[in-house]
Amino acid sequence: MDIRLFKPSVGDEELESIRQVFNKAWLGLGPKVGEFEKKWSEYIGCAESVGVNSCTAALHLALSAFKFTKGKKVLVPVVTFAATAMAVLYNGLIPVFVDVDETTFGISMEDLERKYDQDCVAVIPVHFMGHPIPMDQLISWAKLRGLKVIEDTAHSAGGQYKGKSLGTWGDIGCFSFEEKKCMTTGDGGMISSQDPELLRPLRHSRWVGINKDTWERYEENASYHADANSWYYEISDVGYKYNMNDLMASIGLIQLTKLDAMNRRREAIIGKYVAGLSGGIYVRPAIPYHLQDSSYWAFVVRVKEREQFILHMKKKGVATGVHYMPLTMHPLFAPYAAETPNADTLWRELVTLPLFPDLKDEEIAYVLESVHTYAP
């Protein structure tokens, strides 16, 4: 057996959708992006969405929407992918690293209270592996302190908490469609909000600061502009080349129709894993997986002697991963290190096992069998 860790679930329907874009021969930022943004907003239940080329870009632009004074602080969990904290640095702000909850690996509400001070302007919760942060508690805590909430929803496309889509609880939600995530556009991301005014400037920021994208000008020229001025555009602010393009959107439109089914399949696989691990001594589920309306993109276990276990699985032909080393262990973020005792000890036990919708039942059984033959 040779079982990989992640695998995007893409096929003929996505290819057909790409073919249509090829036939139209408009591959860049264009009508497909607009269509995907609209469908995405409808799907998660928000007012407005802006398609970008990654969640990293989404987080960068989302924070920039508030025009925070440089040097202010943003609270971020210490166990997350680099992009969460990188977006804080991109904006000239200071990351304040908050410890994680020992059960869920989400940002710790107790430590948030400890780390908060008057210079904090925002908090970026991450739904670790898709496990929802108790957003009702977090939002009321943040609102009381006047903090903006940017949800890093990279791990949780299609997930819900208390019947409301993840990514719609905070002021802005940022999604990832990178190839390993719940759904994919190759690379890609989405910025979503209930407040269209907040996102309006970000449409320009994602397109090098230009106030009209090429498709808009093309349409003006082709249809209703009587004069020659449709070439004209203005740039008032610094912008970035962060746009989603029609090729990505054409894949996203198909993936969106499969997202619920893919999330249900991941739930079923996790259900088998959790049942199969029960009673085992050395390997146990890392978090209390709630297998309803969930959006887990990865399956994580806790193992005391992690390195031995990883080697054992490798010999069996089962790929594993580690998500994530606390960010303050990286040289870039080390100067911002603060006390995060849960993260410092618990991350050493984390191991990610194979999870993707096309994982076959016999492969799941083989992964479990391989886990069961492990003894330190």
Among 43, 2, 19, 241, which residue's Cα sits nearest to residue 157? 43
Among 355, 288, 349, 284, which residue's Cα sits nearest to residue 322? 349
With vertex at residue 255, the alpha carbon angle to CA 249 and CA 261, rounded to the nearest 5 degrees, is 160
Binder among 37, 101, 151, 152 for ligand PLP (CB under 6 A):
152
Check binding of 123 to ligand PLP (CB under 6 A): no
Binder among 60, 155, 212, 306 for ligand PLP (CB under 6 A):
155
Q: With respect to ligand PLP, which residue has the nearer C-beta, 332 or 375?
A: 332
Whether cis (ω within 30° of 0) applies to the bond prior to 116 is no
Q: Please, what is the minimum distance in Å from the beta carbon of residue 185 to ligand PLP?
A: 9
Number of residues that bind ligand PLP (CB under 6 A): 14
Q: Please, what is the minimum distance in Å from the beta carbon of residue 147 to ligand PLP?
A: 19
Please state whether beta strands 164-165 and 160-161 pair in parallel, antiparallel, or not at all (unpaired).
Answer: antiparallel
Tally of CA atoms within 13 A in the half-sphere of 10 that contains its CB: 25
Q: Which of residues 186-205 bind ligand PLP (CB under 6 A)?
A: 189
Please state whether beta strands 148-152 and 73-77 pair in parallel, antiparallel, or not at all (unpaired).
Answer: unpaired
> Contact, 250 vs 21, CB < 8 A?
yes
Q: Please, what is the minimum distance in Å from the beta carbon of residue 152 to ligand PLP?
A: 5
Q: Please, what is the minimum distance in Å from the beta carbon of residue 159 to ligand PLP?
A: 13
Check binding of 178 to ligand PLP (CB under 6 A): yes
Q: Please, what is the minimum distance in Å from the beta carbon of residue 86 to ligand PLP?
A: 9
Cβ atoms < 10 Å from Cβ of 70? 8
Category of 234 on φ-ψ map: left (φ > 0), alpha (ψ -120 to 50) or beta: beta
> Contact, 276 vs 243, CB < 8 A?
no
Q: Please, what is the minimum distance in Å from the beta carbon of residue 11 to ligand PLP?
A: 22
Check binding of 154 to ligand PLP (CB under 6 A): yes
Check binding of 327 to ligand PLP (CB under 6 A): no
Among 206, 210, 255, which residue's Cα sits nearest to residue 232? 210
Stretch of 54-62, 68-76, 109-117, 239-247 lying at the interface with ligand PLP (CB under 6 A): 54-62
Check binding of 207 to ligand PLP (CB under 6 A): no
Check binding of 80 to ligand PLP (CB under 6 A): yes
Q: With respect to ligand PLP, which residue has the nearer C-beta, 82 or 291?
A: 82
Q: For residue 230, what are the CA distances in angstroms to 15, 29, 74, 213, 214?
A: 34, 17, 41, 11, 10
Q: With respect to ligand PLP, which residue has the nearer C-beta, 155 or 266?
A: 155
Q: Please, what is the minimum distance in Å from the beta carbon of residue 295 to ligand PLP?
A: 13
Rounded Cα distance between 213 and 233, Å, is 8
> Contact, 97 vs 337, CB < 8 A?
yes
> Contact, 132 vs 166, CB < 8 A?
yes
Q: With respect to ligand PLP, which residue has the nearer C-beta, 327 or 371?
A: 327
Stretch of 35-43, 132-140, 151-159, 236-244 lying at the interface with ligand PLP (CB under 6 A): 151-159
Q: Which of residues 81-110 bind ligand PLP (CB under 6 A)?
A: 81, 83-84
Q: Which residues contact 270 (CB under 8 A, 6 or more apart)?
A: 289, 291, 296, 299, 355
Compute the CA torsion angle 106, 65, 34, 176 (nearest 10 deg).
-20
Q: Please, what is the minimum distance in Å from the beta carbon of residue 218 to ligand PLP?
A: 28
Please state whether beta strands 299-303 and 189-193 pair in parallel, antiparallel, or not at all (unpaired).
Answer: unpaired
Check binding of 54 to ligand PLP (CB under 6 A): yes
Stretch of 51-59, 161-169, 212-220, 274-282 lying at the interface with ligand PLP (CB under 6 A): 51-59
Task: Tell me the helix, strand and coil percentages in the chain, rounded to 5.
Answer: 40, 15, 40
Stretch of 52-60, 192-200, 281-289, 360-368 lying at the interface with ligand PLP (CB under 6 A): 52-60
Binder among 49, 108, 176, 205 for ligand PLP (CB under 6 A):
176
Q: Please, what is the minimum distance in Å from the beta carbon of residue 234 to ligand PLP?
A: 29
Binder among 49, 56, 184, 340 for ligand PLP (CB under 6 A):
56
Binding site for ligand PLP (CB under 6 A): 54-56, 80-81, 83-84, 126, 152, 154-155, 176, 178, 189
